[in-house]
Amino acid sequence: MLEEHVKGNLPLFDTLGYPIYVVDPEFNVVFSNAAMKNLFENIGDAQDLKCYHLLHRSERPVKDCPMVRTLENKTPVLTELYVPFVKKHLLVNVSPVMSDGIIIGAIHSITDITEIKKKEEDYDQIIDIYASSINELKTREVRAQKGRDAFLNMLEDINESYKELENLFLKLILVMVNTLDAKSPWTRGHSERVSMYAEQIAEELLIDKDEVKSIKLAGLLHDIGKIGTYDYLLDKPGALTREEFEIVKKHPVQGADILQEIKQLRDIIPFVKYHHEKLDGNGYPESLKGSQIPLGARILHVADSFDSMTSDRPYRPAPGFEYALSELRRFQGTQFDHEVVEAFLKVLEKRNSRK
């Protein structure tokens, strides 16, 4: 069963920038991504190996094997290991994949902490980073759990036989999105907030429920193309040069290219690709105008712009809530869709009235 789930998501696994591999309950490696193969050189596809061969160089599971503890407790396990095979210190997070209360496999994700461990004079820093890694992984787990539960609620009308696959699929999406947002402290949580705003705007516009779901998912993945953007550009404290901005402007098309390989996500590609287009044609990547821009992309543009204006960035502090509202009103009909802005203002008004 696990092998069948993984086959359809191979492109998704390979877009992840950190090592990850999938193991069945018999400790067999089902799949390893490109980053994993790069860390463990000469392992090929690793499908003839057991996970404890890679992590412990053992012929059988060892006492502290994170996979053993995961199978016993049915909960995620975080373990620090020194792996002689690659002469590296690794932080290994093992998350179970469940089906009807039964573990059908596990996802191993790995962080290389070798350089940190070598700096014994910075021992306090090691403790802080280690604790931060644990807290971040716990936060990701909570977010993934909340996202999975919300997604399952949206899938009540889908045949029961597809629910396990959809559950795994969403977990992988959330892992990918959280990995992207974690590239920079300035973007942490951005994708989930944009997704929330976009969903609320779509509901206020009385859009069809299935379309609302697509817009919400597109909100999560709207910046996925930044996986291919240099980290120093995302964290640059000053204004970008023209050449640097041209690099950043490629992320909508790069995101569309990534999603093109995933059949279940092709319907949201136009929303992701065109979420930086403007009504007057001064946006990118294709300078579309007015109704040429899909409604889902116009909604994401408003949600994305609002969150950016109410969040700190390395090159400036957050302008603030009132400034963001004034900018949305100021550029209604030129940069932003008039009806979308009005719907979002109603959403914010309802939220304030409930406080």
Residue by residue, DSSP assigns 103-149 as: EEEEEEEEEE-HHHHH-GGGHHHHHHHHHHHHHHHHHHHHHHHHHHH
- Domains, the chain, ranges and CATH? 186-355 (1.10.3210.10)
**Tokens 């889902």 -> residue:** 296
d(CA 11, CA 260): 10
Catalytic residue status for 138: no
Name 95's bridge partners: 107
Q: Is the dihedral of CA 129, 134, 139, 140 positive or negative?
A: positive
Give residue 176's identity as a one-letter amino acid code: M
For residue 108, what pLDDT band results from cuts at 50, 70 and 90? confident
Strand 20-23, strand 29-32: pairing: antiparallel
306 burial level (CB within 10 Å; 0-12, 13-18, 19+) = buried
Tokens representing residue 263 in the block: 């059949």
Query: Which carries the bigger pLDDT value, residue 232 or residue 297?
Result: 297
What whole-number percentage of the chain has pLDDT above 70? 72
For residue 13, the model assigns a pLDDT of 67
For residue 157, the model assigns a pLDDT of 46
Q: Determine which of 39-43, 77-81, 83-87 has the lowest per-residue pLDDT on average.
A: 39-43
d(CA 343, CA 205): 6
For residue 197, the model assigns a pLDDT of 96
Nearest to residue 15, comparing CAs of 285, 266, 260?
260
Query: Which carries the bigger pLDDT value, residue 94 or residue 6?
Result: 94
For residue 272, the model assigns a pLDDT of 96
For residue 342, the model assigns a pLDDT of 97
Peptide bond into 285 cis (omega under 30): yes
Pick the catalytic residue from 226, 236, 263, 350.
226
For residue 287, the model assigns a pLDDT of 96
Mean local confidence (pLDDT), 326-346: 96
Specify the DSSP class assigned to residue 313.
Answer: B
For residue 189, the model assigns a pLDDT of 80
For residue 159, what pLDDT band results from cuts at 50, 70 and 90? very low
Name 336's bridge partners: 332
Strand 29-32, strand 88-99: pairing: unpaired
- Backbone phi, then psi, for 286, in 5-degree steps? -120, 10
For residue 334, the model assigns a pLDDT of 95
For residue 318, the model assigns a pLDDT of 78
Residue by residue, DSSP assigns 284-295 as: SSS---GGGS-H
Tokens representing residue 188 in the block: 């942490």
Mean local confidence (pLDDT), 212-229: 86
Residues 6+ away with beta carbon under 8 Å from 275: 218, 222, 252, 297, 300, 301, 304
State pLDDT tens for residues 11-56: 666 777 778 888 888 998 888 888 888 888 766 666 678 888 888 8
